[in-house]
């Protein structure tokens, strides 16, 4: 952005001016410019959900989610500050203690956005006491395993199945700390849906809930996506 | 009670229900309420049939069912008893009464008795704080002023399978308890008078009058009513909608219940004036599920108004002024008091607050420009139509015009409704309601402010102590830590679960508060509580989550000794008792001598 001359004034992200297009959110504009703002429930291909709150930023002194906040000229946005990263760390710790996350034995380890973001933010421990919820897995489907223990309720699978696959396989259920993912079938099991391995919903999960069967540790730990480079250096992967 | 129907007749009933709602998926919450009334609970088969009939997926229906506290996916007792669990109910002995009833019926709280006859549980405040302890039966009727005698008699009636309709009528009496009336609770003009005044002024002039009045919303946030109406009036749309928020879920608040009983005409008339101003044809009242017993009377008032040409087509004989009101009954979800969550619920969905902007004034019910106002706000509009904005602005303070109704409960001689001009001092209200030796007042409910004695000179007003209408009094005998712990449980119970900080944070607060209550707390726990409070204030998706730690923060700051009494040590104390954990090893080795215990134990 060094020599670019824009007719429309941009907004300031951590002291640097960023251009934006009308209708863009702060997170969209930042991602397009290759600037990293931590996030979990947001994905460039889908409409914003605003639930994980990891992408919180301070806009003119007020905290808000950058995935839902519209970019506007002359906004003063703070993202990579000690205060906001401390809040993000607490939010990540909340997600870790809410579910059952055993990274060393998780097939998603190294490819997991939750784990990568926790490393990025410098989370060194859970801080809070674990809830250890009882969440049975659904191994009914011939090709896909559902391990709800790792679910962070980002609803990306809900959106992908609805908006891309046109199948509506997933929905959010319950309320409060007992909120959970629902599978749409009479039995409530994945085997009785028309979900297929090639569906967008099968590959969208940022954590290790929706996993292909019979493909364990094909890429060794240490050689996976976030083992190579931290998540903050892979923003271009998300540019649509 | 709840008749057991054969599968085929239940299916017929469901089809009739679907037909009555034109198979509109936006009527899902109403359909679920009605289907549950037929069968007592919602079997998976019923959810599947409704899904098919409405063109929804089963998981979508299941998601909605699971969101609301009053929907059941497992069989419940033929008598479903829900004890109101606000702090004011507990102060009046609800816990012991519930234990007594459970013992008499030989059941554990939360469980259905083996014969399927009865279940007993707790529910959030039922809006009867001035005549508690209260309970809710089958989400339909309330029993007030519970005592040992009533509980004993109730157990007998349940064992004898006496239908609720044949229980002593005085048990169901709900009193208005209007202790101090000013403008709103005083003499009401005849139905149609305020509307005629508004029509005579015309929509634009009525709006100007409202501006002049400086009326601010009575639901808590205090947004300027005229601004909301003006934005909605100006918003483009094929249809505009007026919504009355009667989801009075803030614990300790019951003034809307009385307004809907005592002056329902005024509420509907205020909505009709709003319709005139913003150009709406459709009005909706969101009545909280706990107030289901008010529905028949409200429907009768609506029918009366239609007959008097105060609702329907050509209101007051004015061509083109068509407006009618439907009542939507909620199903137990505090978060639906938030206006965008309320709209989601009206649309038959999970009541999670929307991403804003767009705001409801531009994009509300079914995408139409919509105003959502509190019951009391609509009442006030009548008086402004009748007497003018300047008159209303002359009452109260410059920033908080008019009067405000307070739902007074807790430690006082005369609980009930007290209406004062804004700017009234807290100690004036305490004096009038007969409160003695008062330690604290929770103003505006758990999401409001907790005031301690040195603050009783402060004024109730948006610029000093704002309120949504609750005024709970605590004398010096009360443990303010326990008050805050009760509120922490309330917020965790009512969190919608959408965003991380509220979903997990409110549950973590409960864990810490219970740890303190168990005598295992340390200063570190209090630091963590402060951290959680700070995070919830800044990072939650909606205002309800942001306010979830308010009672905690206020009480830690103002009643610290109440917390410190629960601290075991100044330093970190583990959440479990290590010596107690060693008891298994001691038992296995057959030892119980001093050497088998931790050194620091006596």
- Candidates B473, B467, B470, B484; CA nearest to B549 is B484
B402 DSSP 8-state letter:
S
Mean pLDDT over residues B21-37, rounded?
96
Domain count along chain A: 2
Q: State the Cα–Cα distance between residues A19 and A42, nearest whole angstrom.
A: 20
Residue B4, φ and ψ in degrees, nearest 5:
-85, 115
CB < 8 Å to B531, chain A: 90
* Contact at CB, A98 and B499, closer than 8 angstroms: no
- Regarding whether A139 and A74 lie in a shared domain, the answer is no
Would an 8 Å CB–CB cutoff place B504 in contact with chain A?
yes
- Regarding whether A202 and A95 lie in a shared domain, the answer is yes
pLDDT band at residue B3 using 50, 70 and 90 as cut-offs: very low
Write the CATH number for A57.
3.10.20.740
Q: Report the half-sphere exposure of B352 (CA within 13 A, side-chain side).
A: 23
Q: What is the DSSP string of B230-295?
A: HHHHHS--S--EEEEEE---STT--HHHHHHHH-HHHHHHHHHHHHHHHT-SEEEEEE-GGGGGGH
pLDDT digits (tens, 9 = 90+) for B421-470: 999 999 999 999 999 999 999 999 999 999 999 999 999 999 999 999 99
In chain B, the residue whose alpha carbon lies closest to the alpha carbon of A174 is: B66
Mean pLDDT over residues A2-24, rounded?
81
Q: Which among B127, B150, B174 is the end of a domain?
A: B174
Would an 8 Å CB–CB cutoff place B59 in contact with chain A?
yes
Q: What is the DSSP string of B337-393?
A: GSHHHHHHHHTTS--PPPPSSSPTTTS-GGGS-EEEEEHHHHHHHHHHHHH-HHHHH
Write the CATH number for B167.
3.40.30.10
CB < 8 Å to B499, chain A: 50-53
- Regarding whether B199 and B139 lie in a shared domain, the answer is no
Write the CATH number for A147.
3.30.70.20
- Regarding whether A210 and A112 lie in a shared domain, the answer is yes
Peptide bond just before B358 cis, omega within 30 deg: yes
- Regarding whether A155 and A125 lie in a shared domain, the answer is yes
pLDDT at residue A199 is higher than 60: yes
Mean pLDDT over residues B101-125, rounded?
95
pLDDT at residue B2 is higher than 80: no
- Regarding whether B110 and B204 lie in a shared domain, the answer is no
pLDDT at residue B343 is higher than 70: yes
* Contact at CB, B497 and A178, closer than 8 angstroms: yes
The Cα diameter of chain A in Å comes to: 59
- Regarding whether A169 and A52 lie in a shared domain, the answer is no
Q: State the Cα–Cα distance between residues A65 and B71, nearest whole angstrom.
A: 32
- Candidates B535, B522, B418; CA nearest to B180 is B418
| More confident site: A150 or B544 | A150
pLDDT for the residue B602: 43
By the 8 A CB rule, do B49 and B11 touch?
yes
Mean pLDDT over residues B307-311, rounded?
97
- Regarding whether A94 and A41 lie in a shared domain, the answer is no
* Contact at CB, B497 and A170, closer than 8 angstroms: no
Residue B131 inside a domain? The answer is yes
- Regarding whether B352 and B277 lie in a shared domain, the answer is yes
By the 8 A CB rule, do B423 and B394 touch?
no
ipTM of the complex: 0.96
* Contact at CB, B539 and A56, closer than 8 angstroms: yes
CA distances A78 to A41, A51, A85, B111, Å, are: 20, 20, 11, 50
pLDDT band at residue B564 using 50, 70 and 90 as cut-offs: confident
- Regarding whether B188 and B107 lie in a shared domain, the answer is no
- Regarding whether B374 and B260 lie in a shared domain, the answer is yes
Would an 8 Å CB–CB cutoff place B425 in contact with chain A?
no
Q: Which among A80, A108, A136 is the end of a domain?
A: A80
A129 DSSP 8-state letter:
P
pLDDT at residue B570 is higher than 80: no
Beta bridge partners of B285: B244, B327
Pairing of strands B135-137, B438-443: unpaired
- Candidates B468, B455, B458, B412; CA nearest to B125 is B468
For residue A71, the enclosing domain spans 11-80
| Single pTM value for the model | 0.94
Q: State the Cα–Cα distance between residues A92 and A118, nearest whole angstrom.
A: 7
* Contact at CB, B541 and A51, closer than 8 angstroms: yes
Beta bridge partners of B135: B83, B143
Tokens, residue B237: 């749309």
pLDDT digits (tens, 9 = 90+) for B465-495: 999 999 999 999 999 999 999 999 999 999 9
Residue B585 inside a domain? The answer is no
- Regarding whether B412 and B363 lie in a shared domain, the answer is no
- Regarding whether B355 and B221 lie in a shared domain, the answer is yes
Q: Which among A30, A50, A80 is the end of a domain?
A: A80
Would an 8 Å CB–CB cutoff place B295 in contact with chain A?
no
In chain B, the residue whose alpha carbon lies closest to the alpha carbon of A188 is: B59
Write the CATH number for B488.
1.20.1440.230
- Regarding whether A26 and A108 lie in a shared domain, the answer is no
- Regarding whether B220 and B346 lie in a shared domain, the answer is yes
For residue B533, the enclosing domain spans 481-569
B69, with CB counted inside 10 A (0-12, 13-18, 19+), is buried
By the 8 A CB rule, do B433 and B413 touch?
yes
Domain count along chain B: 5
* Contact at CB, B355 and A98, closer than 8 angstroms: no
pLDDT at residue B4 is higher than 60: no
Residue B195 inside a domain? The answer is yes
Residue A234 inside a domain? The answer is no
Range in A110-124, B287-301, B383-397, B567-581 the model is least confident about: B567-581
CB < 8 Å to B540, chain A: 53
- Regarding whether A207 and A102 lie in a shared domain, the answer is yes
- Regarding whether B513 and B445 lie in a shared domain, the answer is no
Would an 8 Å CB–CB cutoff place B45 in contact with chain A?
no
- Regarding whether A179 and A110 lie in a shared domain, the answer is yes
Q: Mean pLDDT over all residues of chain B?
A: 94
Mean pLDDT over residues B225-243, rounded?
98
Torsion sign over Cα B94, B96, B101, B105: positive
pLDDT for the residue B577: 77
Torsion, Cα of B35, B36, B40, B43 (10° steps): 80
């Amino acid at each position: 952005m060094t020599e670019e001359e824009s007719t429309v004034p941009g907004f300031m992200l951590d002291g640097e001016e960023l251009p934006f297009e009308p209708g863009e959110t702060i997170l969209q504009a930042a991602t397009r410019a290759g600037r990293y703002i931590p996030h979990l429930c947001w994905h460039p291909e889908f409409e914003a959900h605003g639930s994980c709150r990891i992408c919180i930023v301070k806009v003119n002194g007020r905290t808000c989610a950058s995935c839902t906040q519209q970019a506007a000229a002359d906004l003063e946005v703070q993202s990579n500050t000690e205060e906001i990263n401390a809040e993000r760390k607490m939010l990540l710790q909340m997600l870790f203690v809410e579910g059952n996350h055993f990274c060393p034995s998780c097939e998603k380890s190294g490819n997991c956005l939750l784990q990568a973001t926790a490393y990025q933010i410098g989370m060194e421990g859970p801080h809070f006491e674990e809830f250890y919820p009882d969440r049975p897995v659904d191994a009914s489907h011939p090709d896909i395993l559902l391990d709800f223990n790792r679910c962070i309720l980002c609803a990306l699978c809900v959106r992908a199945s609805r908006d891309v696959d046109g199948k509506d396989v997933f929905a959010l259920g319950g309320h409060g700390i007992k909120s959970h993912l629902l599978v749409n079938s009479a039995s409530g099991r994945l085997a009785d849906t028309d979900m297929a391995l090639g569906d967008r919903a099968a590959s969208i999960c940022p954590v290790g809930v929706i996993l292909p069967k019979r493909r364990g540790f094909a890429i060794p730990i240490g050689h996976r996506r976030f083992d190579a480079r931290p998540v903050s250096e892979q923003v271009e992967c998300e540019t649509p | 009670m709840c008749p057991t129907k054969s599968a085929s007749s239940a299916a017929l009933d469901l089809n009739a229900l679907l037909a009555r709602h034109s198979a509109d998926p936006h009527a899902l919450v109403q359909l679920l309420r009605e289907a549950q009334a037929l069968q007592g609970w919602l079997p998976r088969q019923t959810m599947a049939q409704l899904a098919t009939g409405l063109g929804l997926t089963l998981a979508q229906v299941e998601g909605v069912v699971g969101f609301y506290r009053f929907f059941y996916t497992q069989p419940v007792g033929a008598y479903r008893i829900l004890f109101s669990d606000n702090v004011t109910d507990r102060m009046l002995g609800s816990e012991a009464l519930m234990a007594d009833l459970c013992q008499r019926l030989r059941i554990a709280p939360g469980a259905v008795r083996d014969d399927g006859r009865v279940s007993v549980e707790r529910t959030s405040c039922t809006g009867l704080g001035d005549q508690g302890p209260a309970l809710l039966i089958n989400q339909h009727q309330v029993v007030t002023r519970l005592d040992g005698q009533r509980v004993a008699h109730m157990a007998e009636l349940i064992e004898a399978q006496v239908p609720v309709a044949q229980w002593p009528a005085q048990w169901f009496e709900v009193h208005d308890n209007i202790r101090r009336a000013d403008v709103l609770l005083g003499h009401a003009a005849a139905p149609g008078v305020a509307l005629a005044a508004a029509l005579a002024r015309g929509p634009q002039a009525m709006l100007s009058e409202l501006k002049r009045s400086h009326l601010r919303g009575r639901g808590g946030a205090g947004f300027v009513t005229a601004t909301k109406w003006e934005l909605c009036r100006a918003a483009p749309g094929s249809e505009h909608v007026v919504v009355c928020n009667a989801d009075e879920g803030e614990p300790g608040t019951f003034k809307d219940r009385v307004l809907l009983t005592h002056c329902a005409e005024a509420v509907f008339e205020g909505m009709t004036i709003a319709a005139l101003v913003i150009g709406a044809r459709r009005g909706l009242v969101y009545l909280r599920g706990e107030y289901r017993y008010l529905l028949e009377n409200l429907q009768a008032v609506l029918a009366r108004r239609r007959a008097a040409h105060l609702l329907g087509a050509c209101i007051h004989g004015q061509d083109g002024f068509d407006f009618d009101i439907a009542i939507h009954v909620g199903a137990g979800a505090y978060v639906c008091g938030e206006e965008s969550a309320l709209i989601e619920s009206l649309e038959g969905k999970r009541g999670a607050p929307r991403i804003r902007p767009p705001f409801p004034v531009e994009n509300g019910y079914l995408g139409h420009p919509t105003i959502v106002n509190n019951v009391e706000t609509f009442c006030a509009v009548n008086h402004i139509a009748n007497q003018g904005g300047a008159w209303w602005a002359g009452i109260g303070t410059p920033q908080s015009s008019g009067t405000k109704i307070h739902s007074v409960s807790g430690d006082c001689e005369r609980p009930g409704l007290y209406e004062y001009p804004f700017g009234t001092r807290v100690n004036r209200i305490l004096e009038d309601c007969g409160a003695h030796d008062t330690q604290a007042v929770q103003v505006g409910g758990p999401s409001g402010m907790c005031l301690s004695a040195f603050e009783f000179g402060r004024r109730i007003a948006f610029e000093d102590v704002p309120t949504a209408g609750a005024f709970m009094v605590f004398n010096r005998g009360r443990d303010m830590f326990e008050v805050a712990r009760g509120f922490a449980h309330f917020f965790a119970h009512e969190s919608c679960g959408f965003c991380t900080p509220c979903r997990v944070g409110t549950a973590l607060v409960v864990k810490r508060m219970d740890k303190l209550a168990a005598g295992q707390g340390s200063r570190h726990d209090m630091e963590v509580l402060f951290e959680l409070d700070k995070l919830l204030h800044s990072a939650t998706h909606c205002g309800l989550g942001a306010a979830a730690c308010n009672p905690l923060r206020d009480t830690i700051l103002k009643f610290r000794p109440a917390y410190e009494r629960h601290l075991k040590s100044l330093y970190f104390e583990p959440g479990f008792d290590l010596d107690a954990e060693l008891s298994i090893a001691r038992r296995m080795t057959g030892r119980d001598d001093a050497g088998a215990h931790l050194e620091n134990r006596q």
